Structure 1
Amino acid sequence: MALHMLGKDPESPEGKSPTVYYDDATGNYLLQGWKVLDSERLAQMDIPEHETVIEFPRRMMQFFPEVTGGS
């Protein structure tokens, strides 16, 4: 398995987050973003115990191959 970094948020102050990764073993994306801690927003979702929610800026969509026409 290898993770491939597809892109980091160009507006991140220190270039650390958010980040899009691709896992070539599973074909899935891994997203690094800001933890959602706002109880009002979390209460509007049905989140299983084994999952979490991150916030991810729209500008990061540019790194998904499906959006750019790449593979």
Structure 2
Amino acid sequence: MSLRFIGIDPSSGTGESPTVWVDEAKGEIVFQGWLPSPELEAECGATEVPGHGKGIPEGEGVVRIPARMASMVREACDAVERTDVR
């Protein structure tokens, strides 16, 4: 796997490390974050929008990262857009 480290939450404490990477080989953004509360996971699973049915499909999950990491997410988006993989 060819993960490129983008950034880690600078305010996270020991053992808490929301992190952003880019998988350059696959052209994907990878997040490590906090597991959602059961209420948040249920709300995400209950939300239905066009092209997205209710529930969280097997093999998918919900993670949370703090808004203070928005610049890292933008950097990851820019990095993955520069890759030739698609």
Cα distance in 2 for partners of 1:42, 1:15 equals 22
- TM norm structure 1: 0.78
| The structure with more helix, counted as a fraction of residues | 2
User: Which blocks of at least 5 consecutive residues in structure 1 are unaligned?
Assistant: none
Instruction: Count how many residue pairs are aligned between Structure 1 and Structure 2.
Output: 67
User: Quick one: which amino acid aligns to residue 41 of structure 2?
Assistant: L
- 1:42 corresponding residue in structure 2: 41
Contact 1:9/1:15 (<8 A) preserved: no
What is the aligned-residue identity percentage? 40
The one-letter code of the counterpart of 2:39 is: E
Tell me which structure has the larger Cα radius of gyration: 2
Who is 1:26 aligned against?
26
Task: Give the letter aligned to residue 32 of structure 1.
Answer: Q
Measured in 1, the distance between the counterparts of 2:9 and 2:60 equals: 23
Q: Which has the higher contact order (CA 8 A, sep 6+)?
A: 2
2:70 aligned residue (56, 61, 64): 61
Flag structure 2 segments of 5+ consecutive residues without an equivalent: 46-54
Counterpart AA for 2:9:
D
